Amino acid sequence: NVIIPPRSNAALWAENEIGKARNHAVQGCWDKGQKQWKRDIGYHRRSRIEAKMFALKRLGQGVSSRCFNRQVVDLQIRVDILNKFTQLGTAKTVAVA
């Protein structure tokens, strides 16, 4: 499965096993359009996960504890901090009649 979407001006490669998945992705972008193709393969989920992992790494590149249970707690604390920041930065919407 192709992880990175092909460029908007991408051309098909020669027919062989190496370029088969890429050619399939390029053809899908041509047929459906790149925006719809990204929705169909779930690209937005990957990019959101990559952004979340980047934010998690900003809180510390590694874990300092040697004990596995303490490493788990360390990572849980980081995730809780990220969730709190996300909650603080999310706008609250209210339906108006």
Tell me, yes or no, if the pTM score tops 0.95: no
Tokens of 63: 């874990």
Angle 49-50-53 (CA atoms, 0-180°, nearest 5)?
85
CB-facing half-sphere around the CA of 51: CA atoms within 13 A: 7
Tokens of 67: 């004990």
Q: How far apart are CA 70 and CA 17, in angstroms?
A: 46
Please, are residues 26 and 10 in contact by the beta-carbon 8 Å criterion? yes
> Residue 1 has what pLDDT?
64
Please, are residues 20 and 40 in contact by the beta-carbon 8 Å criterion? no
pLDDT tens over the chain, length 97 residues: 667 788 888 888 888 877 888 888 898 889 998 888 888 888 878 788 888 888 888 888 888 888 999 999 998 999 999 999 888 888 888 888 7
The sign of the torsion formed by the CA atoms of 22, 24, 25, 30 equals positive
